[in-house]
Amino acid sequence: MHDHSLRDQIVAEVHARPFQKLSGPLALCHQAILYDGVGEDAVNRSVRDLASRRGLPLPENGEGFFFSRNERWALRFEPHGEFYSLTLYALATTEPPAFSNEECGQLPGAYLCGVEVICQPQIEMDLEPLLEQHFGDHQVSGSSVMGSAGQVFTDFRERADSRMSRVLVLQQPKMIDYRCGRLLQRICEIDTYRHMALLGLPMSNDVMPQVTELDRALAETVAAIAEARREPAELVNQLMLQAAQVEELSARSANRLAASEAYFALLYSRIEELREERLEGIQTIEQFMDRRLDPARRTCRATGERVERLSKRIARSTELIRSQVDLSIEGQNKDLLEGLNRRARRQIRMQAKLESFTVIVVTYYAFDLIDRTLRNILGDTELERQLSLGLSLLVPLLALGLFWYLRRLLKGYDDE
């Protein structure tokens, strides 16, 4: 027995992106950055250079996920399929950190979203002044999370100074460090997956009118098929054009819409993992997401389903016109066979008419043959003249006999 070639990779995958051991007071800024055509190697080099300039120890692995920290800072780098995330932690302070303009200029990719998280121990004080300090007069969503081990508050609004939303986490003394690390990571993922999921909405808004127009055009084509207003070849060409347009829409939107559905699923999974408990007078994060994001999710899902249904309808319409063409071909074959039958019947009637001429000819030659035989045998005698006279009288009987014989001979062919 020997180890499978992928065994080490599979075993390590469970621990590939561990939660960090963190505790308040601390603050962090989390950014999600789309690759936008940049290679992963360039991203890895830039992120490790950033960690080095901040005095953070570089990881042993040359690429992929890493978490590095010192007495003041910590940096978490997490690559994904179409984006990467950077989380900068400021330890032992509640002042949110930020990447400098120089650092942002050196990081490759397109900035998508970011969130500031301030984590501090909960103290006995009125909650309203604290919320007003961080969120002003904006409507705040929040709840007690993870079995009342902490409280989370946010207004989901992007701040003008940092271009990030802000989340306030009040940590209870009973929240252990690993639970705090899990909570902070889930908050960051909720913000990231929320924005990644919404990337499919602009495409849905762009594709939906085109689907509606193609749907209307297909309905007109189906009506033309049912009423046989146009030639089948013209209808087939029109269906082929519509099918090509639908496939182009599907190729352009299917991956993005499927990715959005996956991100929505991850988003709601992370919200469920918060195990929210409602605070009096404040809507929960789940309620906010259901109200604000569920219409977008339904729109993206409906767009994908409409494109798929339209493709199936075109396939059914193609089958319909194919059946119409088959019926037309069968009608043509029927007309062709009927024409062949008519020609065969005319030939049979012509043959029947020719049979009478055949009887006359055969009767003539039979009479002539017998008459010549009698003259050659008997010569010019009275007996010969009497037999010739009798033979002449028997000509009708000879003709009838030959006619009966020919009819009997051709009876089987006539039945066929």
What is the layout of strands, in order, in the sheet containing 141-145?
66-69, 73-79, 83-91, 26-34, 110-121, 165-171, 150-154, 141-145, 277-278
| Per-residue pLDDT, 142 | 93
pLDDT digits (tens, 9 = 90+) for 306-363: 998 888 888 887 777 777 667 777 777 888 888 888 888 887 777 766 666 677 777 7
Question: Do residues 33 and 88 lie in contact, with contact meaning Cβ atoms separated by under 8 Å?
Answer: no
State pTM to two decimals: 0.76
416 residues of the chain, pLDDT tens digit each:
777 777 666 766 665 667 778 887 999 999 999 998 898 889 999 999 999 988 899 887 777 888 998 888 999 999 998 999 999 999 989 899 999 899 899 999 999 999 999 999 887 778 888 888 889 889 999 999 998 889 999 999 999 888 999 999 999 888 888 888 999 999 999 999 999 999 999 999 999 999 889 888 888 877 777 776 667 777 778 788 888 888 888 888 889 999 999 999 999 999 999 999 999 889 999 999 999 899 999 999 999 999 988 888 888 877 777 776 677 777 778 888 888 888 888 877 777 666 666 777 777 777 777 777 777 777 777 777 677 777 677 777 777 777 777 777 666 555 55
Q: How many CB atoms lie within 10 A of CB 169?
A: 25
Question: Do residues 45 and 134 lie in contact, with contact meaning Cβ atoms separated by under 8 Å?
Answer: no
Nearest CA-CA partner of 414 in 340, 348, 338? 348
pLDDT digits (tens, 9 = 90+) for 347-373: 777 776 666 667 777 777 777 777 777
- Any idea which residue has 């561990």 for tokens? 18
Q: How many CB atoms lie within 10 A of CB 61?
A: 10
Amino acid at residue number 380: D
Q: How many CB atoms lie within 10 A of CB 394?
A: 13
Nearest CA-CA partner of 28 in 104, 86, 101, 67? 86
Cis preceding-peptide flag for 25 (omega within 30 of 0): yes
Question: Do residues 189 and 266 lie in contact, with contact meaning Cβ atoms separated by under 8 Å?
Answer: yes
Nearest CA-CA partner of 77 in 358, 85, 157? 85
Q: Distances from the Cα of 168 to the Cαs of 68, 73, 150, in angstroms? A: 24, 19, 10
Dihedral angle at the C-alpha atoms of 297, 301, 303, 309, nearest 10 degrees? -170
| Per-residue pLDDT, 355 | 65
